[in-house]
């Protein structure tokens, strides 16, 4: 159960020596889902606004976020999605996510947004896009947080979802949209299903950032690379079983956006010590540290860096290199990347208080 995972998170994150350093370290996050980042406090607020299947009581809600397997996670995730009914709801969750990020010194994030599951007759694409854009501008202005978007096809919903996502991305003016992704189930949904949408998105200048190799083997990662032209892979942990694939990722400089706690919580690996991050790094693959759906997994980015520090035996210099790797793997503009690199380097050069 997730409670076991939570104990592991607490134990690993209690490496106090680096915790203060990580908290203050300016960070970039590349694999984090919009709705999956909504805090339990905001979910409770939405559940009270729209009574139904999601509890608004904090204790019941905490139990609601304990998942027995991946399908259970997807079910409850979609129940939270159903709570987002109006442009005000979209603005509330986006602003809340931005505030939670800024509180951890996340200075840049590529937030994976899934328009298909939020856009309805009552919440048309234009209103949805206006709400996220308004929250994005406020985050930059008030929090010093730069947000960019990756629009994500929820694979479980098939071609209608793929077509709608591509249409929202390509037929509208969407400031700060940098990529197209695909997430959700992998079994039964080969990445090549979505080749047409990715072809069109790439032709329009968007980057390709699919999920692959989370719940299925390396063949799905190959499929994402070959069919979708993936430039980064979300998760990709099963690459560790294919030496040729590892060499390909290194040669073509394709990073894996890892989410340590997510992979344990969803039973993709039995525990942190069995996570392949060490093997991936030893093979020379670039990895970035991310949260996926932080409140749903009882984590945040500071905690994930602390877990990585323990697993990889990192000191402050090693943690700084991880933070820089995320900046380099990002789709930020060269100016943003240079500014964030300089900020991280100057923070890391500061003498300990």
Looking at the chain, which runs of residues are DSSP E strands? 27-33, 106-113, 146-154, 177-183, 207-208, 211-212, 233-235, 256-258, 287-289
Q: Does 304 bind Zn ion (CB under 5 A)?
A: no
Element (H, E) at 195: helix 195-203
Give the C-alpha separation, 293 to 154, whole Å. Answer: 15
Q: Is the dihedral of CA 246, 243, 291, 55 positive or negative?
A: positive
Nearest to 234 by CA among 155, 300, 295: 155
| Residue length of the chain | 353
Pick between residue 209 and residue 314 the one whose CB is nearest to Zn ion: 209
- The answer to the question of residue 292 lying near Zn ion (CB under 5 A) is yes
Closer to Zn ion by Cβ: residue 87 or 326: 326
Which of residues 45 and 110 has its CB atom nearest to Zn ion in the complex? 110
* In the complex, least distance from residue 172 CB atom to Zn ion, rounded to whole angstroms: 23
**Residue 24 beta carbon to Zn ion: minimum distance, rounded to whole angstroms:** 26
- Select from 56-64, 115-123, 135-143, 284-292 the region that touches Zn ion (CB under 5 A): 284-292
CB of 315 to Zn ion, least distance (A): 29
**231 versus 292: smaller Cβ distance to Zn ion:** 292
CB of 211 to Zn ion, least distance (A): 5
Q: How far is the CB of 248 from Zn ion (least distance, A)?
A: 22
Of 136 and 232, nearer to Zn ion (C-beta) is: 232
Least distance in angstroms from the C-beta of 292 to Zn ion:
5
String marking each residue 330-349 x if it binds Zn ion according to CB under 5 A: --------------------
214 catalytic per annotation: yes
Contact status, residue 30 vs residue 290, Cβ threshold 8 Å: yes
- Choices 81-89, 139-147, 170-178, 289-297 (CB under 5 A): range interacting with Zn ion: 289-297
Chain CA centroid to CA 222, Å: 21
Rounded Cα distance between 27 and 73, Å, is 27
| Catalytic member of 214, 231, 234, 304 | 214
Looking at beta carbons, which residue is closest to Zn ion?
292
Helices 316-329 and 334-349: crossing angle, nearest 10°? 170
How many residues bind Zn ion (CB under 5 A)? The answer is 1
**311 φ, ψ (degrees, to nearest 5):** -70, -35
Per-position DSSP letters for 83-133, written without gaps between them: T--SHHHHHHHHHHHHHHHHTTTEEEEEEEE-HHHH--SSS-HHHHHHHHH
Which residues touch 300 (CB under 8 Å, ≥6 apart)?
100, 104, 291, 294
Comparison of 201 and 296: residue with beta carbon closer to Zn ion: 296
Residues designated catalytic: 214
Residues that bind Zn ion (CB under 5 A): 292
């Amino acid at each position: 159960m997730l409670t076991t995972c939570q104990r592991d998170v607490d134990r690993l994150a209690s490496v106090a020596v680096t915790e203060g350093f990580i908290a203050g370290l300016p960070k970039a996050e590349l694999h984090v889902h919009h709705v999956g980042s909504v805090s339990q406090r905001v979910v409770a607020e939405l559940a009270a606004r729209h009574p139904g299947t999601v509890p608004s009581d904090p204790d019941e809600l905490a139990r609601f976020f304990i998942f027995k397997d991946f399908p259970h996670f997807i079910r409850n995730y979609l129940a939270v999605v159903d709570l987002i009914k109006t442009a005000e709801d979209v603005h509330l969750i986006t602003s809340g996510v931005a505030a939670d990020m800024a509180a951890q010194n996340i200075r840049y994030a590529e937030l994976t947004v899934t328009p298909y599951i939020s856009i309805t007759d009552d919440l048309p694409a234009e209103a949805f896009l206006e709400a996220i854009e308004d929250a994005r501008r406020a985050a930059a202005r008030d929090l010093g947080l730069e947000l960019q978007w990756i629009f994500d096809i929820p694979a479980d919903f098939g071609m209608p979802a793929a077509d709608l996502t591509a249409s929202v991305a390509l037929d509208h003016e969407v400031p700060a949209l940098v990529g197209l992704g695909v997430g959700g189930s992998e079994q039964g949904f080969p990445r090549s299903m979505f080749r047409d949408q990715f072809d069109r998105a790439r032709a329009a200048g968007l980057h390709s950032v699919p999920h692959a190799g989370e719940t299925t083997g390396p063949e799905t990662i190959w499929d994402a690379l070959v069919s979708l032209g993936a430039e980064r892979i979300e998760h990709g942990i099963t690459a560790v079983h294919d030496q040729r694939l590892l060499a390909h990722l290194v040669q073509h400089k394709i990073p894996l956006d890892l989410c340590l706690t997510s992979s344990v919580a969803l039973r993709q690996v039995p525990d942190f010590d069995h996570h392949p991050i060490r093997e991936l790094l030893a093979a020379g693959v670039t990895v970035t540290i991310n949260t996926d759906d932080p409140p749903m997994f009882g984590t945040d980015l500071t905690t994930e860096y602390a877990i990585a520090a323990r697993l990889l035996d990192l000191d402050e210099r090693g943690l700084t290199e991880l933070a820089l790797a995320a900046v380099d793997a990002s789709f930020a503009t060269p100016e943003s990347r240079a500014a964030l690199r300089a900020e991280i380097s100057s923070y890391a050069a500061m003498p300990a208080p």
